[in-house]
Amino acid sequence: MRAVVVRSFGGPEVVEVVETALPEPGPGQVRIKVAAAALNPVDAAYGAGVLVPLPESGALGLGWDVAGTVDTVGAGAPFAAGAEVVALAYGPGTVKAQADHVVVDSSAVAPAPASVDAVLASSVPLNTLTAAQALDLLDLAPGSTLLVTGAAGAVGGYAVQLAHRAGITVTGVAGAADEELVRSFGAARFVERGAPAGPFDAVLDAAVLGADALAHVRDGGDYVGVIPHAVPVGVRGIRVQAVEVTADGNRLAELVKLVDEGVLTPRVARTYPLEQAPEAYRRLAEGGVRGRLVLVP
């Protein structure tokens, strides 16, 4: 079968599609026949060698987001062959979601949404879980004020939608051209990138502004970033944290239900055949994409 890997670190030029052995699930695991696998910034970071070293096998698989069909189950896995699912292929491995098949722990798997196709569904796991778990860290009460940077992006957009649903008053920061989009997510107010705003009870920094975002938080407020171990130093009594996403199939199932209810809006900018993975990574590196790029085996 085919898998997208890097065997040396760098930019899109090191991304390869290689032939590799079909993985077999162990106890509590499922093998998914991949229908679609979204690209995320973390994939590019893996390829650049920012987060993990190359494994002893010499190949590091890419892809955290997957939608597809269970085709084989390990002992004790609570899914049946033929089930349509989404999953978070968390952490490093030699074969990940951008492949013909991927093996994941069943605890990372949820039934696929019924209201969207596999391409859109593949963009759900990592970004919705990141947004939801970041909001968990903030633990804001209804009526609190929240600034979301990067509100037109995948994590930021989902964060606006989830916070709005929770009764939080959300202000979204993005480029001027994205105002209508951000307001459609439920933002009560829009602020153009670079303009002054605040103070707010908290900021969810999906755009990774770092210390600059703290200027928008009230004294004693909260900041949560989306890159672990890369948060600014707290000032004025501001509590500073970062979300480190965890694979949680039960929580993912709840978020999938919100997709089906129309609360969360998956967005895909473009699809590529799996064999065109290097081209997809080049487009990701160019930036400015609204919605995920998705590989289709």
pLDDT at 159: 98
Query: What's the CATH number where 184 sits?
Result: 3.40.50.720
In a domain, residue 253? The reply is no
Q: Which residues contact 128 (CB under 8 A, 6 or more apart)?
A: 158, 252, 255, 258, 259, 264
Average pLDDT over residues 73-102: 96
Average pLDDT over residues 45-70: 92
Q: Which of 76, 75, 70, 87 is nearest to 31 (CA)?
A: 70
Q: Which residue has the higher pLDDT, 64 or 290?
A: 64
In a domain, residue 190? The reply is yes
Upper half-sphere CA count for residue 143 (Cβ side, 13 Å) = 0
Pair (43, 155) in one structural domain: no
Pair (117, 136) in one structural domain: no
Mean pLDDT for the chain?
96
Q: Which of 58, 102, 110, 61 is nearest to 84 (CA)?
A: 110
Pair (170, 92) in one structural domain: no
Pair (104, 52) in one structural domain: yes
Structure confidence at residue 181 as a pLDDT band (50, 70, 90): very high
Helices and strands of the chain, counted as H and E runs: 8, 16
Average pLDDT over residues 56-62: 90
In a domain, residue 255? The reply is no
In a domain, residue 237? The reply is yes
In a domain, residue 257? The reply is no
In a domain, residue 261? The reply is no
What's the distance, CA 34 to chain centroid?
Answer: 17
The tokens of 108 are what? 């990372």
Structure confidence at residue 56 as a pLDDT band (50, 70, 90): confident
Is 155 in contact with 127 (CB distance < 8 Å)?
yes
Pair (86, 164) in one structural domain: no
- CA–CA distance, 239 with 221 (Å, rounded to integer): 6
- CA–CA distance, 20 with 212 (Å, rounded to integer): 45
Q: What is the pLDDT of residues 238-295, one digit of tens each?
A: 999 999 999 999 999 999 999 999 999 999 999 999 999 999 999 999 988 889 999 9
Pair (116, 158) in one structural domain: no
Q: Which residue has the higher pLDDT, 136 or 229?
A: 136
DSSP tag of 126: H
Pair (94, 149) in one structural domain: no
Pair (167, 141) in one structural domain: yes
Q: What is the CA radius of gyration of the chain?
A: 19
Query: What's the CATH number where 44 sits?
Result: 3.90.180.10
Residue 220, number of CB atoms within 10 A of its CB: 10
* Residue 28 in this model has a pLDDT that exceeds 90: yes
Pair (227, 131) in one structural domain: yes
- CA–CA distance, 157 with 267 (Å, rounded to integer): 10
Q: What is the pLDDT of residues 140-174, one digit of tens each?
A: 999 999 999 999 999 999 999 999 999 999 999 99
In a domain, residue 63? The reply is yes
Q: Which helix (H) or strand (E) holds 30?
A: strand 29-38
Percent of the chain with pLDDT over 90: 91
Q: Report CA-CA distances (Å) from 57 to 39, 54, 293.
A: 23, 8, 28
* Residue 90 in this model has a pLDDT that exceeds 90: yes
Pair (165, 60) in one structural domain: no
Note down the domain range covering 99.
Answer: 2-124+266-296
Percent of the chain with pLDDT over 70: 100
* Residue 37 in this model has a pLDDT that exceeds 90: yes
Average pLDDT over residues 166-192: 97
- CA–CA distance, 205 with 242 (Å, rounded to integer): 9
* Residue 229 in this model has a pLDDT that exceeds 90: no
pLDDT at 152: 96
Pair (202, 171) in one structural domain: yes
- CA–CA distance, 261 with 113 (Å, rounded to integer): 10
Q: How many domains is the chain partitioned into structurally?
A: 2
pLDDT at 55: 85
Pair (232, 278) in one structural domain: no
Average pLDDT over residues 82-111: 96
In a domain, residue 278? The reply is yes
Structure confidence at residue 50 as a pLDDT band (50, 70, 90): confident
